[in-house]
A and B are shown apart, each in its own frame.
Chain A
Amino acid sequence: MKVTIDGHTIDVEPGTTILNAARMIGGEIVPPAMCYYSKLKDSGGKCRTCLVEVTKGSEKDPRPMPKLVASCRTTVMDGMEVKNITSERVLEARKGVVEFLLINHPLDCPICDQAGECHLQDLAYEHGTAKTRYEEERRTFDQIDIGDKIKLHMTRCIMCFRCVFTADQITDKRVHGVLYRGDAAEIGTYIEKAIDNDFSGNMIDVCPVGALTDKTFRFKSRVWFVKPMNASRDCDKCCGKAVVWMYGNEIYRVTARKDKYDEVVDFICNTCRFDKKQVSDWNIEGPAEINRHSVISANKYKKGIKVTAPKVLGYGNNVD
């Protein structure tokens, strides 16, 4: 099926969404996605940052679609023509969505653990305006511990539902969902129940903002001071392929590996994530490539640098 996005034409399988077709084309025409997550079934459609304009429905039915559509949940038709960054309407709507996501967000990046790897930060930087028009009181929630390893800070949540789908789909006992309604809605485990599951830690990785953070890492370091290294270990629960974030020769935190859209490649278990913090636990392969442009990728690592494990141990404050 042929689809044209901002003038770039590509042939894709039936059933491909506009967003995924755009990702195949790549570059700046890829709509930003704050809630869609290719690994999580049924995700997407909620944040509305990926809205695009369909100027031609298909070869068969060339009528344009009257409303902007969520590219992450709209499948392409043969001959469809889509406008993303070439549509004033889209850019205007997107600016609105970014503003909506920010009005109740605390904007306390300087003290937020996610800063530097936060998608909302990137999104606001690229699509937002520098000034806020919001003069009302911002919504706040109390912080909650989901078990002893995960911190939930709802005040920062953007309701992407990714963690809910994670809890639903990769963990086997669902105790995690959404309570209440509208702007009072919150992610919760009901009566602050710990999520007692080997894969629960992945909800930290899927969270685009600083709402779910790793308590074993919180406030230890800014992410741009720690170095992401691909590492693996023999694990009987998960693939054992992870990224260890090192400061000197200490492992500060462990996360799953991510692709260039910052989506987890393989989910990892809680043992790897929370309990394996010794260099000796891991076979360190070399620097992790961070493809997306963010503060972390601005740090010292470039692709192609060869490092061997022993040398890694010497890494720390000043690497280039």
Chain B
Amino acid sequence: MGKKLLLEHENVPGIDTYEVYRSKGGYCAAEKALRKMSPDQIVEEVKVSGLRGRGGAGFPTGMKWSFLAKPEGKPRYLVVNADESEPGTFKDRYLMEKIPHILVEGILISSFALGANTSYIYIRGEYKWLVDVMEKAIAEAKNAGWLGKNILGTGYHLEIYVHYGAGAYICGEETALLESLEGKRGNPRIKPPFPAVAGLYGCPTVVNNVESIAAVVPIINMGGAEYAKIGIGKSTGTKLISACGHINKPGVYEIEMNISVEEFINSDEYCGGIRKGHRLKALVPGGSSVPILPYELIYKTAKGETRMMTYESLADGGFATGSMLGSGGFIVYDETACIVRNTWSFARFYHHESCGQCSPCREGTGWMEKVLHRIEHGHGRMHDIDLLVDVAKKIEGNTICPLGDAAAWPVASAIRHFREEFEYHVKYPEKVKNSIYAHEKDYKAVMV
């Protein structure tokens, strides 16, 4: 059994209430941090822990905190990114729903460390019920003296506000999120300046993912050095993985970052294997934005090493033969899945979610979707495949925010690893027309 730091008490009845959470050792970290530690010590502890941002990019959290500008006379803000809209990702939702107080406690410690007296939780619009869950937890914490004025008699005060989005994936991008929080259209900002210098209302701001902030609680409890002992290399601690697709046990799992992908997929503790009578075909390990991996690159890297559930190992081989841990949205495909259809489905998502500010993303996402739609529906031509590769290449790296890359990578990687399947769609339009699985029997390439 892997160690659980965030979900240890997930099955304790009433753990969503303050009393039960407190009785299980909740708010001890906050007490320790506020009474015994200085803000700088907390930042240092988080640095030592090696915690990397759980929102997708994996940027070291302690380092991000130390970049926060501290000009005189300007407030600082902590903003928690709970926009979680990446297809395949549903871990933050699970955590907030089950144990909302761990997030409140994490915010308290983090805000204290950053010197923020106001913090926001920006919740995805479709998670509206979580607004009530979080507001209830905040009210309970306030009642118990953990929020408001002069917390624990330290003179520190903090208010947490919950704000919800209106249904736009792009509002998960940190600067679009800040725009939206300010009541404006959620367009990503052009950087620099970065939020650490000019974020919410032009003030220094830290934006962190829900899980990153929650992880601060065990880090303070056990100490950064202890936390850093879990995992491999620069992938320290535990990570929440939301697993879905053709597996026996879809769900949210907390893993120590030292298990192999093979174990994660096949162990009964986690995914419980591929559904009966079927074979593994492909994997998207970190949410729809990351490159897809074909069967032969899932359990082993191109170098023949065991593929581990870590930032480094999943990225091993770069874009040619690797992928990314991303947000931990783990999507498993068996041989019945049509990669063309899946790629079209992702492309449709990015087309729909592009904010429309910059030309490569606004135009390119729509273009890719239309071409993929044609191929999937039996109207493709051979040259469409190279066209897609080229369009993806022209978007990648040339946009304002990473949504452009996120739209390009799945297309480019699907063609890189499953080109034959695309060609099959073009060659045998009758067999694939209006049918998702019609080609299954004929199509044999790639699969082992």
Contact = CB atoms under 8 A, between A and B. Distances in A.
A48 interface: yes
B358 A182 contact: no
Contacts of A92: 394
Interface string B368-381: 00110010000000
Interface stretch (A18-26, A97-105, A284-292, A303-311): A97-105
Interface residues of A, number: 36
Contacts of A296: none
Given A67-B397, A183-B354, A46 B359 contact: yes
Residue of A51, A67, A97, A104 with most chain B CB atoms under a 10 A cut-off: A97
A184 interface: yes
Contacts of B399: 48
Contacts of A248: none
A64 interface: no
Given A181-B354, A182-B352, A45 B400 contact: yes
Contact of B357 (A67, A97, A159): A159
Interface in B343-398: 351-360, 362-367, 370-371, 374, 387, 393-395, 397-398
Interface residues of B, number: 31
A68 interface: yes
A14 to B, nearest CB: 14
**Main SS of chain B's interface residues?**
helix
A183 B362 contact: yes
A181 B367 contact: no
B15 interface: no
Given A45-B190, A73-B190, A93 B366 contact: no
B168 interface: yes
Nearest to B360: A100
Contacts of B393: 96
Given A45-B190, A93-B394, A100-B364, A185 B400 contact: no
A97 B352 contact: no
A51 B398 contact: yes
Contacts of A73: 190
A185 B185 CA distance: 12
A312 to B, nearest CB: 41
Contacts of B400: 45-46, 48
A133 B390 CA distance: 11
B394 A99 contact: yes
A211 interface: no
Given A45-B400, A67-B397, A159 B356 contact: yes
A136 B379 CA distance: 12
Contacts of B360: 48, 96-97, 100
Contacts of A68: 397-398
A182 B394 contact: no
Contacts of B352: 181-182
Interface in A33-60: 44-49, 51
B81 to A, nearest CB: 19
A185 B356 contact: yes
A103 B367 contact: yes
21 contacts: A45-B400, A48-B358, A67-B398, A70-B190, A93-B398, A97-B359, A97-B360, A100-B394, A103-B367, A133-B387, A178-B185, A181-B168, A181-B352, A181-B355, A182-B354, A182-B362, A182-B365, A183-B363, A183-B365, A185-B356, A185-B362
Given A104-B366, A182-B352, 6 more contacts: A46-B400, A51-B398, A99-B394, A159-B359, A161-B357, A182-B362
Closest 9 CB pairs of A and B: A96-B394, A185-B356, A45-B190, A182-B354, A100-B363, A136-B370, A182-B356, A183-B366, A100-B359
Interface of B: 168, 170, 185, 190, 351-360, 362-367, 370-371, 374, 387, 393-395, 397-400
